[in-house]
Amino acid sequence: MTATKLKVSVLYDVWEEEPVEVQEEVPAPRKRKGQTKRRKKVVKQDREEIFEALEKLGHEPSYYILDGRRQSLLGLAKCGADLVFNLTESYAGDDTKEMNVTAFLDMLEIPYTGSGPHANVLAQDKSIAKKMFAFYGIQSPYFATSYRGALDHAHDISFPLIVKPTSEDGSIGIDAAAVVTNVKELMERVHYIQTEFDSPALIEEYIEGREIYAAILGSYENAYALPLVELDLSKLPKGMPRIASQDVKFEKNTEAYKLTKSAIAEDLDEETTTKLSEIALKAYRAVKLRDYGRIDMRVSSKGEVYVIEANPNPWLSSGQEFAMAAKKSGLSYTQMIGEIVDLAMARHA
Ligand SMILES: Nc1ncnc2c1ncn2[C@@H]1O[C@H](COP(=O)(O)OP(=O)(O)O)[C@@H](O)[C@H]1O
Ligand SMILES: [Mg+2]
């Protein structure tokens, strides 16, 4: 554990859609991985929990907000932090600029937690990540992408399929109609993704199976998988596709939310657990994640494992899967934050 007291700037971004009073010390709504633009404010934000953990660790935390104005960028350059705890997901509401923020911090030579710009590039566009997975022999569902008539594919794909935006997270664009079983539904959904999100559509084979998340802590050869977490979708009503839609993830008042829950996957046999953990680690490294990340997978009834996506800097809220896995491994929330701080500082030692 870092013995020295660090000035840690908890960095997050706000965007126009949710106007806030921008004062540097005041927490404000922000988009997090696994959180949609339509999401209502939660009681305690992850950044507040992280702030408190940093205090308990003996550090000196403060908040810094990137609000999309040049002024806030210039301020960041002069913030004087020993470490940035990076919770940004976008810049000025543009998710594709997540990588610009980390690249900016690199240029300023300010140490920061989590993945760097190269991982942002490789993991954010799911079709790029899937090409990396293929190179490393990591199984991921067969897919094609379609954008304004241009098609990119390497395999024949067959129904049922799931259609999603290539580069969103938080299940944006993923609802019951995302799973399609015929050409008409497919064409309609591709059209929807293109018009609604101005994004290429990722058309992927739908994998029936259990949904397992592997939280990974560490970097490169020293990364390791924490106990696996399952999102149990088996209780969803008949006819509703078993997917982690926006409702399942965030909409507390929906049936879908109430009937699903994440918990440590206690009943997986040792062989399956080892297989899932090893595949998750391979995927983590394939797209160059570091410090902490979460790999989303599906395992079929035959025990076949498919990587669905790799999440750099996943949501660290204490109720979420990453913290759940860390707790099961014996780390308190504060210790988990301490580990992430140490990993980031070690990179700059
Ligand atoms: N190929 C697939 N087969 C089965 N379910 C899928 C597939 N792709 C996505 N899903 C379901 O949709 C959810 C969200 O998809 P994901 O690609 O992880 O998007 P996000 O980045 O928004 O989390 C997954 O957690 C899973 O439940
Ligand atoms: Mg996901």
- Where is 322: in which H helix or E strand? helix 321-328
What are the tokens at 186?
């497919």
d(CA 102, CA 88): 9
165 touches ligand 1 (CB under 6 Å): no
40-55: average pLDDT? 81
- Where is 278: in which H helix or E strand? helix 270-286
Q: How far is CA 158 from the centre of its chain?
A: 27
Atom of ligand 1 nearest to the CA of 296: 18
Assess contact for 138 and 162: CB atoms under 8 A: no
171-177: average pLDDT? 94
Which residue owns the Cα nearest ligand 1 atom 2? 206
Q: Give me the residue label for tokens 């498919």.
A: 306
Q: Which of 308, 311, 313 best tests ligand 1's pocket when mutated (most atoms within 8 Å of CB)? A: 308
Q: Which of 296, 297, 305 best tests ligand 1's pocket when mutated (most atoms within 8 Å of CB)? A: 296
pTM over 0.75: yes
Q: Which residue has the higher pLDDT, 93 or 210?
A: 210
73-99: average pLDDT? 95
82 touches ligand 1 (CB under 6 Å): no
Q: Give the pLDDT of residue 15.
A: 82
Rg over alpha carbons for the chain, rounded to the nearest Å, is 20
pLDDT digits (tens, 9 = 90+) for 221-237: 999 999 999 999 999 99
Q: Give the pLDDT of residue 48.
A: 97
What are the tokens at 147?
């954008």
d(CA 98, CA 313): 11
307 touches ligand 1 (CB under 6 Å): no
User: How close are the terminal C-alpha atoms of the chain, in Å?
Assistant: 13
d(CA 173, CA 171): 6
Atom of ligand 1 nearest to the CA of 126: 17
Q: Is the pLDDT of residue 290 over 60?
A: yes
pLDDT digits (tens, 9 = 90+) for 310-321: 999 999 999 999
Q: Write the CB contacts of 332 (distance below 8 Å, at least 6 apart in sequence).
A: none
Q: How far is CA 304 from the centre of its chain?
A: 23
Q: Which residue has the higher pLDDT, 28 or 87?
A: 87
Q: Which residue has the higher pLDDT, 39 or 346?
A: 346
Q: Which residue has the higher pLDDT, 16 or 258?
A: 258
E-strand ranges in 157-220 read 161-165, 179-180, 201-205, 210-217
Q: How far is CA 69 from the centre of its chain?
A: 25
228 touches ligand 1 (CB under 6 Å): no
Helix locations, the chain, DSSP H: 46-56, 70-77, 98-108, 117-124, 126-135, 183-197, 246-250, 255-258, 270-286, 321-328, 333-347
294 touches ligand 1 (CB under 6 Å): no
d(CA 132, CA 143): 13
Helix locations, 78-171, DSSP H: 98-108, 117-124, 126-135
d(CA 308, CA 277): 14
Task: Kindly indicate the confidence band of residue 38, based on its pLDDT and cuts at 50, 70 and 90.
Answer: very low
